[in-house]
Amino acid sequence: MPAFPHSISSKLPKVGTTIFTIMSRLASEENAINLSQGFPDFPVDQYLIDLVHKHMSAGKNQYPPMAGIMSIREQISEKMEKAYGVSYDPESEITITAGGTQAIFTAITALISEGDEVIIFTPAYDCYAPAIELVGGTPIYIQLSSKDYSIDWKQVKKVVTRRTKMILINTPQNPTGAIISDKDIQELIKITRGNDIVVLGDEVYEHIVFDGNRHQSMALYPELANRSIIVYSFGKTFHVTGWKTGYVVGPANLMVEFRKVHQFNVFTANGPIQYALSEYMQNPQTYLGVSEMYQRKRDVFISAVNASRFKLKPSKGTYFQLLDYSAISDEEDQDIAVRLAKEFKIASIPISVFYHNPVQNNVLRFCFAKEEETLLRAGDILTKI
């Protein structure tokens, strides 16, 4: 089609297609094992699928309420109470979203204005900065330590100004698999005390935390909970990333603003799926065993690459494992990721794309949300590289 002759000034001139789409497409073209974009390759609980069918057959096929059906918000409220000891009002403090990305975009759009600054930690998940820039805000980048991806709070203190409107905390962290500690929480409380900074908690991997560690939710700490919008994802917890259903919790004054945007962004999220999830969640066992299941998968993957030349520090949360390839090659990570997909038929995610400044840290991200058989095959390939 001939291009429309007028020039268009791009609102995101530096943004291309997300790395997850690029690498998944390459994996499929190359017929490679796809450990790039994060999604499970194992079946969903048949009972959950039957529940969706049941509610669709029962006629639950029209718009649910804008903030989500009441029964699922009540289930979520109960979960927040049991898991984090905090009470969120289903009526005014919980909203169902069309997945985590929509929730993050909506929260940023609702709360950030021209000239506001948002602190984000790099390597950062790729949807944060574009959302901030689209509303005229400025992302302020703090690089996590290259050793263990921890936060240098002295640096954070230095960049907090009157313009700081939000700090975005992603724990467990994608792409690194790091988690924040109690000490980090204490620093965050100190930095935000006495000012109006909002915390946006991206906690979509809340149920995937390993080695007996506790997920440090913003919801656990009253001083943080009352200034936080926290984002969660059913896709990650119930292995249904394609259902694009998640939710946010937060104090009513923030939620009012969130919903003002949400109602014109998607209006509401998929109805029958909400009915199904609401019934499914009544049994907490459906989500309480998820960490254990993924820890086994992490360990299978780690032992499968044990004899390889890749080096690693075990992931502490999420379903991602970073592998350091510096003993194999000094290629840029984006180049080696493409080469491994083409030559060795295994796809991963180069993590330099999640930094603001150019870095050369020689690590690739692999998703281990896979059948054991897939992980062992991947291990065999990686051991030959």
Question: What is the contact surface with ligand GLN in residues (CB under 6 A)?
Answer: 18, 20, 37-38, 101, 174
Shortest spacing between CB 204 and ligand GLN, in angstroms = 8
The CA distance from 183 to 188, in Å, is: 9
Q: Quick one: tokens of 372?
A: 């054991």
Identify which of residues 101 and 237 has a Cβ nearer to ligand GLN in the complex. 101
Greatest distance between any 2 Cα atoms in the chain: 60
Identify which of residues 188 and 338 has a Cβ nearer to ligand GLN in the complex. 338
Identify which of residues 64 and 177 has a Cβ nearer to ligand GLN in the complex. 177
Identify which of residues 102 and 274 has a Cβ nearer to ligand GLN in the complex. 102
H helix runs in 60-161, sequence order = 70-84, 100-111, 128-134, 153-159
Shortest spacing between CB 232 and ligand GLN, in angstroms = 13
Query: Using CA atoms in the order 288, 292, 297, 303, what is the torsion angle rounded to 10 degrees?
Result: 170
Shortest spacing between CB 174 and ligand GLN, in angstroms = 5
Identify which of residues 221 and 238 has a Cβ nearer to ligand GLN in the complex. 238
The CA distance from 229 to 94, in Å, is: 10
Are the CB atoms for 8 and 352 separated by under 8 Å? Answer: no
CA angle 76, 80, 86 (to 5 degrees): 135
User: DSSP letters of 121-138?
Assistant: EES--TTHHHHHHHTT-E
Phi then psi for 71, rounded to 5 degrees? -65, -35
Shortest spacing between CB 216 and ligand GLN, in angstroms = 20
Peptide bond between residue 350 and the one before it cis (omega within 30 degrees of 0): no
Are the CB atoms for 312 and 297 separated by under 8 Å? Answer: no
Identify which of residues 77 and 174 has a Cβ nearer to ligand GLN in the complex. 174
The CA distance from 113 to 117, in Å, is: 9
Shortest spacing between CB 328 and ligand GLN, in angstroms = 23
Shortest spacing between CB 49 and ligand GLN, in angstroms = 22
User: DSSP letters of 304-339?
Assistant: HTTTSS-B----SBSSEEEEE-TTT--S-HHHHHHH
Which among 67, 69, 88 has a CA at the least distance from the CA of 77?
Answer: 88
Instruction: DSSP letter for 241, please.
Output: G
Shortest spacing between CB 126 and ligand GLN, in angstroms = 8
First-residue to last-residue Cα distance in the chain: 44
Q: Quick one: tokens of 89?
A: 């009002």
Shortest spacing between CB 24 and ligand GLN, in angstroms = 7
Shortest spacing between CB 34 and ligand GLN, in angstroms = 10
Identify which of residues 241 and 274 has a Cβ nearer to ligand GLN in the complex. 241
Identify which of residues 17 and 62 has a Cβ nearer to ligand GLN in the complex. 17
Identify which of residues 18 and 329 has a Cβ nearer to ligand GLN in the complex. 18
Q: Quick one: tokens of 47?
A: 């009972």
